[in-house]
A and B are shown apart, each in its own frame.
Chain A
Amino acid sequence: MTAHQLHPDNWVDLYADYLFNYAVTRVNDSEIAKDLVQDTFIAGLKSAKNFKGEAAERTWLIAILKRKVIDHYRKINSKNGKAEVRMSFSSQTDSEGAWLEERIADPNSNFENDALVNEELGIAIQNCISKLPKKQAQVFIMKTIEGMETEDICNALGINASNLWVMIHRARTGLMGCLNQNWF
């Protein structure tokens, strides 16, 4: 295996969205997530000399971001006092133990897994987008994620509508192939 190298100049272009998605699913606040990504890049720059080339650049950055997310939770936890556990007891006093049913886990509920699945899905899609040719990825992101109007994208990139649809088509076909094994 060849040793990996760092290219900090490309970090923002290559990994910012990926890291941002990772952070946003964990802190649930896009402003905080943005700061964490920024902190990650700075920390990465500072400790670049400690990079041994064992992991790929992105894996290494994610590892730093993980620490940043943990630090973030430590900080807010110490500020607002320790984590609080709240329980609400039913106000209906005459329900004779019927409330007990509300207190146990619903074995048929998949609700708690949804967030997990969606997070994995987000990372998978982001990963596949990063494998697309740059122009296709750009058009796909503008159209699908940012939800821009066709006309606005054409103006911004200096292309015509049929160019745009060709690129969208290629991007979508590429993504379908990439996501195929796990998600279709």
Chain B
Amino acid sequence: MVISCEKAANICDKAQYKEASSWEKIKLKFHLLMCKTCAKHSVKNKKLTSLCNQARLAVLSEEDKRKMKDTCAKAK
């Protein structure tokens, strides 16, 4: 039931991607009750997740980038 801060941080990261198990989440909740530092970190981590969702970030695929590089090379 008692976990280290490193472990707590790891579970917290996993939870941001919905990859933490229920048991892990219980252990995390328990840790956050006792550890102020981790509790603070956890709040910020959640906030980062919501910011990333809100910004609806987009990236180009590797395929697209390769095509761009080719086109640029030809244009030179």
Contacting residues, chain B, for A34 (C-beta < 8 A): 60, 64
Q: Distance in Å from the Cβ of B59 to the closest Cβ of chain A?
A: 5
Q: Distance in Å from the Cβ of B47 to the closest Cβ of chain A?
A: 6
Q: How far is the CA of A8 from the CA of B14 in the complex (A)?
A: 38
- Given A24, A46, A179, which contacts B51 in the complex, CB threshold below 8 Å? A179
Whether B57 sits at the interface, judged by CB under 8 Å, is: yes
Digitize A143-157: 1 where CB-to-B-CB distance is under 8 Å, 0 elsewhere. 111100010000000
Q: Distance in Å from the Cβ of B68 to the closest Cβ of chain A?
A: 5
Contacts of A80-134 to chain B: CB distance below 8 A:
118, 121-122, 125-126
Q: Which positions in B face A, CB cutoff 8 Å? A: 9-10, 13-14, 16-17, 19, 44-45, 47-48, 51-52, 54-60, 64-65, 68-69, 71-72, 75-76
Closest 10 CB pairs of A and B: A122-B55, A121-B55, A17-B59, A145-B57, A42-B75, A12-B68, A12-B69, A145-B59, A176-B44, A41-B72
Q: Is the CB of A184 within 8 A of B47?
A: yes
Contacting residues, chain A, for B59 (C-beta < 8 A): 17, 20, 141, 145-146
Q: How far is the CA of A165 from the CA of B71 in the complex (A)?
A: 36
Contacting residues, chain B, for A17 (C-beta < 8 A): 58-60
Q: Is the CB of A38 within 8 A of B71?
A: yes
Q: Is the CB of A45 within 8 A of B75?
A: yes
Q: How far is the CA of A126 from the CA of B52 in the complex (A)?
A: 10
Q: Is the CB of B68 within 8 A of A172?
A: no
